[in-house]
Amino acid sequence: MSLEDSEALTTRQLFQELIHKLRKQKIEDAEISARWIVEEAVGLNGVDFFTKQDEKLTVRMVAAADSMSDRRIKGEPLQYVVGHWGFRELDLAVDQRALIPRPETESLVEEGIQYLNSLTSSDKKALKVVELGTGSGAIALSIAKEVPESIVHATDVSDEALSLTRSNLAGLGRAASRVSLYQGSWLDPLPDALRGDLDLVISNPPYVAESDELPAVVKDWEPGLALFAPANGFAHLFHIAVEARSWLKPNGMLLLECAEDQCSKLKSLLISRGYEKVTIGVDLAGRKRMVSGCRPVNDIPDEDFSRAVSALKSGKFVVTITDTVPGILAQYSNSDAVISTYVAKGRPLDEPMPILVSSIEQALQLVQFSDQAAALAEEHWPGPLTLVASRLRGPDPIHKRNSLGVRVPDLGWLRLLIDEVGPVTGSSANVHELLPENSSEKAAASLHLTPGYIVPGNSETDVASTVLDVTESQARVLRLGAVDISDQKI
């Protein structure tokens, strides 16, 4: 368009000129882009666009529209061209220092806010929230604005991204006083005083595989540091899932955005790392987009956990509370340690012991599951169901059978312990199994050998697990126990 004639242009004419210009250059969203550019250049808002169609424009307005449309034609995202974008209740400054806030992330924030609002009034005195990889600040600032009880801490490794966050924070109003920003990698820069005291850790980390093809409007303009992750896009999700648990308070939630094809893997990771209430959530389009899990309220003290791990790794056996009867644990990979549990119980070596694993994936490193067995595990694990399946790599080195009983315990800290040391024996710690002790101390006292460590306490139930043989095409009940399988088709 001609700047010489710009003073004669109206809003309507500028809009039509821009649509024509953008369509000529094959811009797919030409009409949407044209409207946003006109509104930004002219200073219109919402309904003004329709009521001021015939107003004459200045040279400066038309020049600004020309400049923005040229940038759009070069492929720059519309959000960066106009310099701001809406996210929930916020209007955020956006540029190439951070990712463009997206609608699917609004669903992530909604899930987090609903969780915070679900907490009892006594818990809401000061809800402590951490966002990891804050970028423009969309997530952190939305929570601060919409949850008045929240105290929000946000981190980002990029100082440039944090400078953009600070710009947006300046426009947040009174809620800005409840937001703190930290430069550094994920949880590293947070004050140690927050460890074990967070109600919510939330993140939309980079989760695109480095080999994935992205549209040019994303790949060429948005920061790669905020998009791509090693290990086929899973590296940062893995790191956060592993590290965040110790920063949460009991019942505190971890909430992560991820790709649809990463949800199952991330869910399994959270289960193996001792989270409970692990759930896959969907975005506004109904696609799987996020995974959440909570730190259990019944974790054992850190000292007990560390001493149990040390004892197991040193080849000793441990007696501990479990989700069924007290158990005698030894590293399954250490035959001498396993044999010591047989001796301690006075159990013949040809009688198999069940094995506790942290996840289905860990079980599949030991045994082979049919589709039916996998479905049973998916439905009942974590929980007191032992599945006897065909053992991989030949007979067991101790009891010499070609099958192995495996299960994933319900206690989160016990799954975390198993994930740290590897699969462990999971037999009752009682010498006389018909008269089981509920106390781990009493169970340990009945053994013929002294444990390397005893995790004190009482188990939640004195009922052993249900045992199913899934080595054949039709599952067979070997022992009735804590899981009611009367309605199962086996």
- Residue range 417-429, pLDDT digits in tens: 999 999 999 998 8
- Asked if 325 and 283 sit in the same domain, the reply is no
Contacts of 390 (CB under 8 A, 6+ apart): 367, 368, 402, 403, 471
pTM: 0.92
d(CA 372, CA 382): 17
Mean pLDDT for 30-53 is 89
Mean pLDDT for 310-334 is 95
Q: What is the band of 432 on the pLDDT scale with cuts at 50, 70, 90? A: low
Q: Which helix (H) or strand (E) holds 292?
A: strand 288-294
When the pLDDT of each residue in the chain is averaged and rounded to a whole number, the result is: 93
pLDDT at 4: 46
The CATH number for 375's domain is: 3.90.870.10
**pLDDT tens for each residue of 389-403:** 999 999 999 999 999
- Asked if 108 and 249 sit in the same domain, the reply is yes
Q: Is 425 part of a structural domain of the chain?
A: yes
Report percent pLDDT > 90 for the chain. 84
- Asked if 323 and 405 sit in the same domain, the reply is yes
Q: Is 487 part of a structural domain of the chain?
A: no
**pLDDT tens for each residue of 11-26:** 999 999 999 999 999 9
- Asked if 127 and 58 sit in the same domain, the reply is no
Contacts of 29 (CB under 8 A, 6+ apart): 78
**Sign of the CA dihedral 43, 48, 49, 55?**
negative
- Asked if 161 and 56 sit in the same domain, the reply is no
Q: Could you tell me if 111 and 255 are in contact, meaning their C-beta atoms sit under 8 angstroms apart?
A: yes
Q: Is 161 part of a structural domain of the chain?
A: yes
d(CA 453, CA 462): 21
Q: Could you tell me if 9 and 62 are in contact, meaning their C-beta atoms sit under 8 angstroms apart?
A: yes
- Asked if 151 and 67 sit in the same domain, the reply is no
Q: What is the band of 125 on the pLDDT scale with cuts at 50, 70, 90? A: confident
- Asked if 42 and 116 sit in the same domain, the reply is no
- Asked if 121 and 191 sit in the same domain, the reply is yes
Q: Cα separations (Å) of 243 from 135, 248, 275?
A: 20, 10, 12
Q: What is the band of 123 on the pLDDT scale with cuts at 50, 70, 90? A: low
Q: Is 484 part of a structural domain of the chain?
A: no
Q: What is the band of 490 on the pLDDT scale with cuts at 50, 70, 90? A: low
d(CA 280, CA 90): 26
The CATH number for 238's domain is: 3.40.50.150
Contacts of 439 (CB under 8 A, 6+ apart): 326, 457, 458
Q: What is the band of 353 on the pLDDT scale with cuts at 50, 70, 90? A: very high
- Asked if 467 and 336 sit in the same domain, the reply is yes
| Range 10-24 burial, b when 16+ CB lie within 10 A, else e | ebebbbebbbebbee
- Asked if 132 and 101 sit in the same domain, the reply is yes
Three-state secondary-structure class, residue 458: strand
Of 47, 74, 101, the one marking the end of a domain is 74
Range of the domain at 117: 86-294
Nearest to 211 by CA among 227, 232, 225: 232
**pLDDT tens for each residue of 221-259:** 999 999 999 999 999 999 999 999 999 999 999 999 999
